[in-house]
Chain A
Amino acid sequence: MDWKRFGFIAIIIIILFGVVVIIGGGQVKPLVIITSMAATTIMVATPLTLGALSGTFCERSGVVNIGIEGMMLGSAFFGWLAAIYMNSIFSFPAMPSLLIGVLAAILTGGLFALLLAVLSVSFKVDQIIGGTVINILAVGISGFMNRQLFFEKGSIFKGQVPHAPGVLPTIHIPLTNLLSPLCETNTACMDVIAAINKIFDQRPIALSAIVLVFVSHFVLFNTRWGLRTRSVGEHPRAADTVGINVAFMRYANVIIGGFMAGLAGAYFTIESVPSFEPLLTNGRGFISLAAMIFGNWTPFGAWAASLVFGAAQALQINLQFFREYIPPQWAFLQQSYIVGLAPYILTMLILAGIVGRTIPPAEDGKPYEK
């Protein structure tokens, strides 16, 4: 990840934040706006970050995974379903139900990934087709089961969507207590620390996504596993000649990627909103692939790129609070669908190679023939 790329990301984020600060600055203190934007950015970037990490693990080992979208959708559904079952059929309390839901989502992601691995590593099916199979399968299964279970007469839930056990709670990290001695009596400094604390008041999956970025970086670049993973993505034959099991490494990394996509799925139905609707991932899986590419197949790069997309979405969300203050010459910003296009337009710009070329792993997407 070169500095040019990080610089580009920083500039885009500053512009996106700046738009909201300029429009809303007369009503609310800029620090409050920036805090809110930053918190929203991190929150909505969660599934993108996890999806991009998922893709990074798969592609570093040489398997293209365009099925992330489907993996997310499928695990969002099954995670949510597990939580509901636990809560309303087996009468588990809300919290354990939700945690079981998260676990179910992760496992679903893993199972979808296993299917991708079987197709692309063992049967050497074209990996784009393998990923497409997963995308179509996930749309079909989740849509079909959703209808059968909840909207058909005589179904378990008797045509009613049961009350979901809510969402995972926000975790408050007491940063303020830790950092406030640094400020002594300076109130401006205290404000900034309070603001930072507020930014990181996130729900568990969002926080774990950030932790996973650091963990993934460490694993990929500083451990035996990472070295072997990257070797099978770059030159599987070379890895084979030094006794590394190429198929095993690819299977394992694709499944690790599946777990991460599964966690991303859990974000939608267990952390963000307590409900499921067909196609709710809405292209997030594909955007996370763009983030992975823009991040040059590195965890930090993927995270930074996800934050850009997150910021574009945060712009849309935060602008709603200040709709009536949008100056007349920027009237187009009042149309929320125009602002809503921002992440997708960014995706296209970024994939068009606006900031130089990225270099994928050399054997990415190619089955290994012994």
Chain B
Amino acid sequence: MTIVLEAKGITKQFPGVLANDKVDFDLRKGEIHALLGENGAGKTTLMNILYGLYGADSGQVNIDGAPITIHSSKDAIAHGVGMVHQHFMLIPVFTVTENIMLGAETDHRLSNDQRKWWQRSLFPQLDVLDRKTVAAKVTDLSHQYGLDVNAEAIVGDLPVGVQQRVEIVKALYRKAKILILDEPTAVLTPQEADDLFRIMHELTERDVSIIFITHKLKEVLAVADRITVMRGGKVVGTVMPKETNLAQLASMMVGREVILKVKKDAAKPKEEVFRVEDLHVLDQRGLETVRGVSFSVRAGEILGIAGVQGNGQTQLVEGLTGLRPTSSGRILLSGEDVTGKPPRPITETGMSHIPEDRQRHGLVLSYTVADNMVLCSYYLAPFAKGSVIQRDQVDANARKLIKEFDVRTPSPYVPTSKLSGGNQQKVIVARELSRPIKLLIANQPTRGLDVGSIEYIHHEIITMRDRGVGVLLVSAELDEIMALSDRIAVMYRGEIVTVVDAKKATREQLGLWMAGARVEII
């Protein structure tokens, strides 16, 4: 098979990090080549170089055998390279058509060369948009590849899966022959992901070549023709899916043996510690995003809330932790009504919270590790005497927790902004779990973390459960929910669709519920 794209010896240095170290990579015509690696392995950097968003410090890129230089994404597009970014590059308030034509707005009349001099526009920038022709072309492309995209829809109103297809049409509209998909399944339900894989095969049959970036091992084995693994800015190796397995890929990614399966014994749930009755919460725009949620958590069990991001989980957790006013309903924590109370009394009643956005809501980034570790107890003895903070106590506490929770930090006096994501999360975990608590609310506790940190945090959550704490785990990663939970609740459009026993739940069934299927279908 012919090689359509070849990168040789790509090196890219960022301040303090060698993001790409002499990376070699090639892509054959009509194949799906998976690029596997942990966060920070340099996958996205490599792709951004291929797509012209960064310049490489050294190295050579060939397309169809000819060396090319890429200064901007414009050059990459001109050479037939299209990219679907992890965070979609779509403008929510524009229509599908407008998004697709942006930057490639063709004039509906003649092209400039075909025109007589007096027909040429003085200012091509003021050319009138030809939405009709573009819309027709979009509809055409979407039929051709089975993408099912409505050209007139406003992008912000579309589900994520469809937005992703809009991105694919956008690349095809620009005549892309090489498609880079950056973590495309991170935001999809399992069904949507299957749909995407179908589309990917449809594309490769028509000679589009695909680079598929991911850190999900199962997907790679299912769809890729070849797999290249990166670690620490270097290529570790390229393997064929038939000749490898999950464990081998994982150790290639991490550089050591990894226990993929979470070890846990059967739960021994005791009395109910947390009860939510018919809770309603509005978001900042005044829309009701939590609509009558009820559930309960017992001591010593983990209740997982599954759901695609943006179905009200954020507002639910904010409502439960007192960060956002609830419009109606009741919240009972170990029998005490904490509805409408501010966060401090709720915390004091025995709730701890690992927030979704660790940098914005979990830490004061400019504070030191030691200070962050007493954020919810600094005003109590022994950390305070009257209104004076007892520094020696705060420091002793920090040293103890750093050792206990294995936080990798040069000292307790380093600002938390200097730590890696995994260690920042450990600071939060240390603070929240070192208090006497009855309930732990963990919202996306492992988002964006490397496999090692994920392993650690999962272990801590299970330990808390076994010590008799009730755990409410909110996550968009279905694998995480299924691995940790004892019971699983599925949230869709602000409502809990169903609560099932984790042992009886299947991926497919949960995926259907996450996509809005009603419970009766079982």
Any B CB within 8 A of the CB of A198: no
Q: List the A residue with the shortest CB-CB distance to B85.
A: A241
With a CB–CB cut-off of 8 A, which chain B residues contact A238?
88-91, 99, 102
Whether A242 pairs with B77 at a CB distance below 8 angstroms is yes
Chain B, 28-76, CB within 8 A of any chain A CB: 51, 53, 72-74
How far does the alpha carbon of A219 sit from the alpha carbon of B72 in the complex, in Å?
27
Q: List the A residue with the shortest CB-CB distance to B83.
A: A241
Whether B129 pairs with A244 at a CB distance below 8 angstroms is no
Chain A, 230-266, CB within 8 A of any chain B CB: 230-231, 234-235, 237-244
Whether A224 pairs with B91 at a CB distance below 8 angstroms is no
Interface SS, A side? helix
With a CB–CB cut-off of 8 A, which chain A residues contact B89?
235, 237-238, 241-242
Whether B103 pairs with A244 at a CB distance below 8 angstroms is yes
Q: List the B residue with the shortest CB-CB distance to A357.
A: B285
With a CB–CB cut-off of 8 A, which chain B residues contact A242?
73, 77, 89, 102-104, 170
Chain A, 188-240, CB within 8 A of any chain B CB: 219, 222-228, 230-231, 234-235, 237-240
Interface SS, B side? loop
Whether A228 pairs with B103 at a CB distance below 8 angstroms is yes
Whether A243 pairs with B91 at a CB distance below 8 angstroms is no
Any A CB within 8 A of the CB of B94: yes
Whether A234 pairs with B103 at a CB distance below 8 angstroms is no
Would A243 and B74 be within 8 Å (CB), given that A227-B98, A231-B91, A234-B92 are in contact? yes
With a CB–CB cut-off of 8 A, which chain A residues contact B266?
none
How far does the alpha carbon of A227 sit from the alpha carbon of B129 in the complex, in Å?
8
- The number of residue pairs between A and B whose CB atoms lie closer than 8 Å in the complex comes to 74
- Of A223, A230, A235, A370, the contact of B128 (CB 8 Å cutoff): A223
Q: List the B residue with the shortest CB-CB distance to A221.
A: B129
Which one of B51, B94, B123 has the highest number of Cβ atoms from chain A below 10 Å of its Cβ? B94
Which one of A222, A226, A242, A362 has the highest number of Cβ atoms from chain B below 10 Å of its Cβ? A242
- The 8 A CB mask of B106-138 against A (1 = contact, 0 = none) is 000000000000000001111111000000000
With a CB–CB cut-off of 8 A, which chain A residues contact B128?
222-223
- Of A223, A235, A241, A244, the contact of B53 (CB 8 Å cutoff): A241
Whether B102 pairs with A225 at a CB distance below 8 angstroms is no
Any A CB within 8 A of the CB of B351: no
With a CB–CB cut-off of 8 A, which chain A residues contact B105?
224, 227
Whether B73 pairs with A231 at a CB distance below 8 angstroms is no
- Of A222, A234, A240, A241, the contact of B94 (CB 8 Å cutoff): A234
**Closest beta carbon of chain B to A184's beta carbon, Å:** 40
With a CB–CB cut-off of 8 A, which chain A residues contact B99?
238
How far does the alpha carbon of A242 sit from the alpha carbon of B72 in the complex, in Å?
9
**Closest beta carbon of chain B to A237's beta carbon, Å:** 6
Number of contacting residues on A, CB 8 A? 22
Which one of A219, A228, A240, A370 has the highest number of Cβ atoms from chain B below 10 Å of its Cβ? A240
- Of A219, A224, A235, A239, the contact of B124 (CB 8 Å cutoff): A224
With a CB–CB cut-off of 8 A, which chain B residues contact A235?
89-92
With a CB–CB cut-off of 8 A, which chain B residues contact A234?
91-94
**Closest beta carbon of chain A to B45's beta carbon, Å:** 14
- The 8 A CB mask of A21-61 against B (1 = contact, 0 = none) is 00000000000000000000000000000000000000000
Any A CB within 8 A of the CB of B101: yes
Q: List the B residue with the shortest CB-CB distance to A252.
A: B125
Would A243 and B72 be within 8 Å (CB), given that A224-B105, A238-B90 are in contact? yes
Chain A, 318-370, CB within 8 A of any chain B CB: 362, 370
Whether A244 pairs with B102 at a CB distance below 8 angstroms is yes
With a CB–CB cut-off of 8 A, which chain B residues contact A243?
72-74, 77, 103
**Closest beta carbon of chain A to B171's beta carbon, Å:** 10
**Closest beta carbon of chain A to B324's beta carbon, Å:** 18
With a CB–CB cut-off of 8 A, which chain A residues contact B126?
219, 223-225
With a CB–CB cut-off of 8 A, which chain B residues contact A241?
51, 53, 73, 83, 85, 89
- Of B72, B94, B170, the contact of A231 (CB 8 Å cutoff): B94
- The 8 A CB mask of B127-156 against A (1 = contact, 0 = none) is 111000000000000000000000000000
With a CB–CB cut-off of 8 A, which chain A residues contact B91?
230-231, 234-235, 238
**Closest beta carbon of chain B to A258's beta carbon, Å:** 18
With a CB–CB cut-off of 8 A, which chain B residues contact A230?
91, 94
**Closest beta carbon of chain A to B219's beta carbon, Å:** 24
**Closest beta carbon of chain B to A57's beta carbon, Å:** 14
**Closest beta carbon of chain A to B301's beta carbon, Å:** 41
With a CB–CB cut-off of 8 A, which chain B residues contact A231?
91, 94, 102
How far does the alpha carbon of A230 sit from the alpha carbon of B129 in the complex, in Å?
14
How far does the alpha carbon of A224 sit from the alpha carbon of B125 in the complex, in Å?
6
A: residues with CB less than 8 A from B are 219, 222-228, 230-231, 234-235, 237-244, 362, 370
- 29 pairs of residues in contact across A and B, judged by CB atoms under 8 Å: A223-B125, A223-B126, A223-B127, A223-B128, A224-B126, A227-B94, A227-B102, A227-B105, A228-B103, A230-B91, A230-B94, A231-B91, A235-B89, A238-B90, A238-B102, A240-B73, A241-B51, A241-B53, A241-B73, A241-B85, A241-B89, A242-B89, A242-B102, A242-B103, A242-B104, A242-B170, A243-B73, A243-B74, A244-B102
Top 8 A-B pairs, shortest CB-CB distance: A242-B103, A243-B74, A238-B89, A225-B125, A224-B105, A234-B91, A241-B89, A235-B91
Further contacts, 14 of them, CB under 8 A, given A219-B126, A242-B170: A222-B129, A224-B124, A225-B126, A227-B101, A227-B129, A228-B125, A230-B91, A231-B102, A234-B94, A235-B89, A235-B90, A238-B102, A239-B103, A241-B89
